[in-house]
Amino acid sequence: MFIDTHAHIHQHPTDEFAEIIGRAEDANVGAIFTAGTTVEDSKLAIDLAEKHARVFAGVGVHPTDLERSLTSDDLDQLSNLASSPQVVVMSEIGIDHQDKSPNKEWQAESFHAQINIARKHSLPIVFHIREQADDYDAHSARDAALSILKETNAGELGGTAHYFQGRWNFAKELLDLGFNISFAKTLTRIQDLEESAKNTPDDRILVETDSYPQTFKKNRAKWTEPRDIPIVAEKLAALRGVSTAAIEELTTQNTFTMLGTRSTLVTSVLESNTNR
Ligand SMILES: [Zn+2]
């Protein structure tokens, strides 16, 4: 089965959870990592993971959700949440340099501090790096993120550049630091990503949907959900000249490798056919 390594399904209305997880299961997506974007939202991610066997949580504060640099109280709360048994990754954290994004210093400090929390709990980090106005050749967020990732030796923790949208030379730098590269449905429409999708080594590639309630799309059936993982896998398979089943096998294995000892939490649920 596939694993959706990055989504925000806990942000949907409560009465949709069982259906979304059921549709994922029908599409051969056996586990979903749902990532918090604020302290409060991280609690909701854990709540959902406690209720559904196929869901695991990430905790973290997203760079675009910062209203200040994280305080010591915020960090204490996050560290406390990170110790929950359902938490498998520190996510979503990162750097975002779009025009309207929060202050860059708050972002750098908060990314750094959250990597330290991940280290304390031996959690891999799943991070977001976004440039201004989808400029794939821009380097501002990339440079800020790389300097923090290097300074903190975050590669030792392992993790993933999620929703990767950079050029191959950037992917290569992240791979050299020890991170995986995760692709989403954007791969089916942005040709500039294809080089990275072809060149990322077999043992470093992951899949995700980054799905959340897309209220801007009027047709509910068209919202991205974890069930869409096979669309990403099919595109990767076509680009890499292998079968979709091969992509399924290697991305799931790579997720286990990223999780280390925590992978046992996920292996048991992939083998089971029942939802809690
Ligand atoms: Zn996300």
How much distance in Å is there from the Cα of 125 to the middle of ligand 1?
Answer: 13
Q: What 8-state DSSP symbol labels residue 60?
A: -
Instruction: Give per-residue burial for 140-149: e unless 16+ CB within 10 Å, then b.
Output: ebbebbbebb
Give the Cβ contact number of residue 276 at 10 Å: 11
How much distance in Å is there from the Cα of 249 to the middle of ligand 1?
Answer: 23
How much distance in Å is there from the Cα of 6 to the middle of ligand 1?
Answer: 6
How much distance in Å is there from the Cα of 18 to the middle of ligand 1?
Answer: 20
How much distance in Å is there from the Cα of 12 to the middle of ligand 1?
Answer: 14
How much distance in Å is there from the Cα of 147 to the middle of ligand 1?
Answer: 22
User: What's the one-letter identity of residue 52?
Assistant: H
Q: Give, in degrees to the nearest 5, the angle at Cα 40 between 38 and 46.
A: 100
Residue with tokens 């791979």: 175
Residue with tokens 């939490």: 265
Q: What is the pTM of this model?
A: 0.95
Q: Which domains does the chain have, with CATH numbers?
A: 2-271 (3.20.20.140)
Per-residue pLDDT of the chain (276 residues; tens, 9 = 90+): 999 999 999 999 999 999 999 999 999 999 999 999 999 999 999 999 999 999 999 999 999 999 999 999 999 999 999 999 999 999 999 999 988 898 999 999 999 999 999 999 999 999 999 988 766 677 889 999 999 999 999 999 999 999 998 899 999 999 999 999 999 999 999 999 999 999 999 999 999 999 999 999 999 999 999 999 999 999 999 999 999 999 999 999 999 999 999 999 999 898 876 544
How much distance in Å is there from the Cα of 58 to the middle of ligand 1?
Answer: 10
Helix axes 229-240, 244-259, angle to 10 degrees: 110
